[in-house]
Structure 1
Amino acid sequence: MAVYLDVIWLLNFCFDYMLLALTALFLKRQVRKRRLAIGALIASFYVLFLFIPVLTFMVNPIIKLLYSLVIVSVTFGFNRFRSFFQCWLLFYFVTFMIGGGMMGAHYFLQQDVTVYNGAVATQGTGFGDPVSWLFVLIGFPSIWWFSKRRVDTLETTKIHYDQLANVVIHIDDHTISAVALIDSGNQLQDPLSGSPVMILDMTVHAEHFPTTFIEKAKNVTDFQEEGEVDKWEHRLRIVPFRAVGQDHQFLCAIKPDEVVISMDDGAITVKKVLVGLSFHTISGEKEYSCILHPKMLTGHKATAS
């Protein structure tokens, strides 16, 4: 059997480079390509050591451990022990994640059990299932790309959940609790009083409001018509707003007694605010049912919760 050592080394160099690059992405570090290349070069030399009889001691787990420390120190440098240790652990995490993903995909595509003349037979070589180079060439970049996208999605989700807060709306003796999204793009406010307008999803919280009140809130024109008077009718407000591609829109809002926003560093009580009533779902995944105005978080002192 002929072994093309140069081809094996080149493939390992490319794979090591991608592993180090993915580690740098996870660490959010700007690492020069030159350092990545040098680190990948040192890592790829390990393949050559396996074919040199005098260097068989390199297969020892302790030597492998020390060798990986050299790779990480050359690529990412050594400033503090803690940060270096995190880089080293993340490098192993990325390696195991990519390798585990490839082995999982390999066994997922394998068909080890067949039926022959009514009998179930299993296939095996006795030395495990060999992975073809073609599968490695296609599978490695695919798993690399998939892992990067998943981590990006997790980071986006984390940022998204960092912008969530718990709110409690007090109206007379009624209390409405909701999870709110802090939306910096929400600049809606009442033109008369200047009060910021937060949005409440009525498809979730309609049960807290009287039926007559909801009917009036759904139809702005009903405000001018005579009918059954609701106890909260004096709290209703009409707020004009603009949407993309639409002008002269109106939103029904209610004036609460106060809104309490619970944050990590305490609670904020806001009295000058209007609660806009949306009869359309504002979160398809039901992650939140309220949208806060950023002005509600400024100019108010947070109290310990």
Structure 2
Amino acid sequence: MAGYTVYLDQVFIGNLVMNYAILWAAAKLARIPAKKWRIVAGAALGAFYSLALFMPWKTFLLSVWFKCAASVIIAAAAFAPLKLKSFLVSLGCFYLASFALGGLTLGIIFFTHSGRVVSYNGVGSVVAERFWPGIFLGLIALWVAGKGIACLIKKGSFDRLFRLNLLIRSGGEQVNAEALLDTGNSLKDPMTRHPVIIVEYAVLRPLLPREVQVCFDKEGEPDVWGFLGSLGGNRGASRFSAVPFQSLGNVNGLMVGFRPDEVLIERQGQFVRTGKVVIAIYHKSLDPGGGYNALLSSELLTPVS
């Protein structure tokens, strides 16, 4: 049976390059600020693990549970410390980038091979023969695909896939809002634990009582606590609350929360009612381009009968 020669330094360096690209792509996808030396450290761990194939006890090292453990260690080396949710997102992006780059590289290697492959050793020979061209072209393909998708997103080509029309009703009045589906919006009302929809004040104004309009029509940031304190025992005061939030440059933000009578989401040409929600009133514009004026949590896409 014909064999082929494997150079461990080539395997190590090749995997180091690929792992760096994978971790870098995962950091970009998960929007995690990762330092270069941390990515190099994670990539090096992955490259050492790739040599497990050539160890006498490789069956143990290549088991599914050990691969999962190795993935967690590699991601932790590159991205930790993170909150559990953020770390799981980064781990998922790590797997996504791994499968994408691995599939591209192997696809290119065998696409550019014109002969027949009739055995396992034949597969290894083809990979060894075209190892570096496959990695190089795979990295280029991944970079081009990433740039292309980023360009399409920037141009708004996918916007309609993530935009939904809302109908908000309160006190016999109703308004429409164009909502962007925001997977990062996990805000909860601290009092009721109901999910929060962020909506611009300009859209909600017809639904709001005079006291709210006076508060938001003033220049500058709304005085949330001052407004809530001014309500006292007024009828409808129970509809309002303070909704804390965090954003870039604002770690202790507050918005006025408003509980409407009903919120409906347009799905496939029909409006379906959501569960109980809180509307957080945002005094500025959410989108400078005017494409949307509300941010909707994916948690609210399950209709209520």
- For Structure 1 versus Structure 2, the TM-score category normalised by the shorter chain is 0.3 to 0.5
TM-score between both structures, scaled by the size of structure 2: 0.47
Q: Output the TM-score relative to the length of structure 1.
A: 0.47
